[in-house]
Amino acid sequence: MQRFDKLIAGIIIVMAAVIAAVNLIMMKAPEQSQPLYKVELNRIEHELADGKKVTAADYPNILGIYEYDGSEDFWLSGNEYVIRSINGTLYRIEYSDLKVVNNSALPIAVNVCTIGLCLFLIGVLLYIRRNIVKPFTKVSDLPYELAKGKLAAPVKENKGKYFGKLTWGLDMLREELEQARQKDLERAKKEKTLLLSLSHDIKTPLSAVKLYSKALSKGLYPDAGKQREAAESINSKADEIEGYVAEMIGELNSDVLTFEFNNTDFYLSDVIGNISDYYRDKLSVLKTEFTVEEYSNCLLSGDPDRLEEVLQNIIENAIKYGDGRSISISFSDEENCRLITVSNSGCTLADTELPHIFDSFWRGSNTGSQQGSGLGLYICRQLMNGMNGDIFADTENGFMKVTAVCPKL
């Protein structure tokens, strides 16, 4: 903000210097004269040559026009004059050799125009300062504050047409981050409580297993029946422990993410258009051939933003784990659904791993050194299920094909 104010001040100083320099140049410029009588003399000659009647009253700088009559007085006069022979007749044309100086209104006009232009420029700069620079300064620190975790205070609303939507979006982001943090805290609390509870429950059967094992190892049960009974008790307690472990795994494998949906009716072209515009430029930079098959537009049921997120996740996976040669989007219909298939070349995923690619935190053997959380396709499945759709994958001739099934109206 201060830098922009300094810029405005600097521009004002420069413009004032320009105005002063222009006025100084105009003041020091030599006065120009223009002998207008010469122009009038030429016009008189042409009119007399054409036989027209000419009088001195018609010309401001002409004092008199006299035809030679043989008198000596013709050659005598106290005024400036010229002699012209026109159509065989001599004419004495007297004139006034007054100099016409520059129009005094010119400096005024120049100053008015220059000052008007300067005022307009200053007005534009002040408008930019008030409506763009100042609001931007207020929101420029918000991403930094959000990154530091300051999520409690709401973002102050900005009603300006330039940053109103930005502040609204930042406030939505703050709310989403706050909700996500609360959910993480609740989940962490729940998982900690679960682990403490299960660890306590496991202690009892585990102690019994250790007791029976120690008794058997020391030969405290010489009778075969007692030994069999101890072994059965160990097996029973082991089953009990296995049950607790299964419960723990089941809780940990439950949905790790929750999503909100705004299911409505939307056209397929709205989503595909956004995807095509974004990835056509991105993939052209990566030298990857990107094609979108021609399709008939149709009305789908679901959340268009979520479907766009699904396709983005699939294409990002294709970029990361494909060979970078080609990525394509194709379409087909099945019953009352539109199938959107994203295919990429260079698939090295084993067929035995294909059923697991939509599991949470699962990563295939083809990931190599690529960074990832193993949640991309898991999120896609959750999103498609939330829109009453489906998603599946297949491999064919070195191509990975992931298909999103969207219900049609």
Amino acid at 14: V
Per-residue pLDDT tens for 21-48?
877 777 765 554 456 778 888 888 888 8
375 three-class SS: coil
Task: Give residue 145's pLDDT.
Answer: 67
**The model's pTM:** 0.49
Torsion, Cα 152 131 9 116, to 10 degrees, reads -170
Q: Does domain 184-252 have CATH number 1.10.287?
A: yes
CATH of domain 264-407: 3.30.565.10
Torsion, Cα 37 39 44 49, to 10 degrees, reads 140
For residue 69, pLDDT over 70 is answered with yes
What mean pLDDT do residues 95-124 have?
A: 74
Between the CA of residue 11 and those of 88, 115, 349, what are the distances in Å? Answer: 68, 13, 63
Taking Cα atoms as reference points, which of 332, 329, 325, 299 lies closest to residue 312?
A: 329
Task: Give residue 159's pLDDT.
Answer: 59
DSSP 308-363: HHHHHHHHHHHHHHS-SSEEEEEEEEETTEEEEEEEEE-----GGGGGGTTSTT--
Task: Give residue 100's pLDDT.
Answer: 47
Task: Give residue 332's pLDDT.
Answer: 93
For residue 14, pLDDT over 60 is answered with yes
Task: Give residue 372's pLDDT.
Answer: 63
What mean pLDDT do residues 72-98 have?
A: 81
